[in-house]
Structure 1
Amino acid sequence: MHSLLLGLIAALAWGIHDLCVRFVSQKTSILPAMLIVFSTGAILVAGAAAALGDWQAMTLQAAWLAGLSGTLFALGSYALYRAFALGPVKLVAPLVGAYPVLSLGMAMLQGQPIGTGHWLAVAAVVGGVGCIAVFSTEDDGSPVNLQAAAWGVAGAIGFALTFATGQAATHAGAELPVLIVTRLAAILLLLGLAWLARMVQLPSRKVLPLLVLMGALDALALGLVIYAGTLPRPEFASVSASLFGLVTVVLAWLVLRENMNRAQWISVAVTFGGIAYLGH
């Protein structure tokens, strides 16, 4: 139950964060914006890690897994930003939020039994996302942006691998040191990509407060999911956190005034109902 609650809080934080991503990704370059967001999160985590972190419990295996988790998180987040820059929230959010389907696939490859109910939930997620795409096409009068869909799927893959490696790192070491190593690895990767792309210009001052808020929300959400690795049934946190897409869709409808007809709402409900069942 504690893991489930942590995941739900993370979902709320990430839902607000992703609504901001939709706005920011269309106002500034992605890599500099991500550097501000990740650096803010790293500063917040570093303060807690320095004061409360059990660094003696940090093993070489935990550090390696944390670094891998951070690298995957940076790549998944980049895909998320690109997807929201190209497509509407009602299409991108369910795609990215469907990462528990991939987590289920990894569990199956590891030899864990998968029940009929789980396969039906997977079918609901895939079918729901497909219906969202179809109804979006009819509503907007233009084809679904395949690039946005592809980046959304890439984001889902990145997040599924991030949470799996992050929770494994927590098992092998201490929570706060794992979080700071994860953040540092993500920032180093982004710095390398920004240097290669020659993107060193900072975002405008108008969006800086929003980027700092996004960094705080992102650090809180990822920290809660990774911390759940120390609790019973940590997979509940990952699955319940995946409902952030539903939060984002509702906020986009309320704040950004994205049009949603009845068929699209039903498709969204089916998709996230299937995602929720995967944590059963």
Structure 2
Amino acid sequence: MAAPPMPPPPYASYSIAGQVALITGASAGIGEACAWRLAEAGCKLVLIARREARLAALQHAIQHHYPGVAVHTVAMDVQDLEAIAALPQQLPDEFKAVDILLPNAGLALGVAPVHELDMGDAATMVNTNVLSVMALVRAFTPGMVARNRGHLIFMSSIAAHEAYSGGSAYTATKHAVDAFANSARHDLVGTDIRVTSISPGAIKTEFSVVRFKGDEGKADAVYEGIRPLLASDIADNVLYAATRPPHVQVAEILVFATYQCSAKGLARVLSQ
């Protein structure tokens, strides 16, 4: 009897060690979790957020646990589009060639219906969730195109796929991000640059506390009776997409908590 065929070789993932990863909203939540996972993978990190003290603490912690990882921090508000445009030239030489761009900073403010929408909140969401993302991509993709190398990883949301009551402005911004990411993939299709959108469902971070403007009781009620996703779950999705072989482009990942089937479809059955 002939010997059985040999098994296929182990699937070879792509090493991103030494690549420069730029993350906005890096001081907490998904951004912070991504910083840790990308540091573990050996990336050089550019970490951007408003809270300078938290950035400094994160930088210290990462370099303590991963001494070989270079980390550069920038304290800024991503609503400052001029500052974003200046970033590529202002980064130290070691960090200028950004390979992985993760425009993660984003927020929701309030749950008002459209006829009671606070236009100040709406403007903040549009500026943070949409315009800053466009500005970051505009700032860093020319270098990626020139090098014919890079990966845009957009932090989208289930809100990019569904509209729901109390989320008019926020869902509009995430639909916009999704459309922008898809258009970017069309624009860059003739290059080696990959474009990925990651859409989390119910995830427990500071997001809901911000949405309810500091009311932790209301924020906790969002996750009552379920085991929500954690920031580390989404960081794992980011690492997965980034480490597929160069010929593989993970276009989109939509990830729910196990007790979730849609934006508001939650089976609240777990005891507290």
Tell me, yes or no, whether TM beats 0.5: no
- Using the size of structure 1 for normalisation, the TM-score is 0.30
* Structure with the higher strand share, 1 or 2: 2
Higher relative contact order (CA 8 A, sep 6+): 1
Structure that is richer in helix per residue: 1
Structure ID, larger Rg = 2
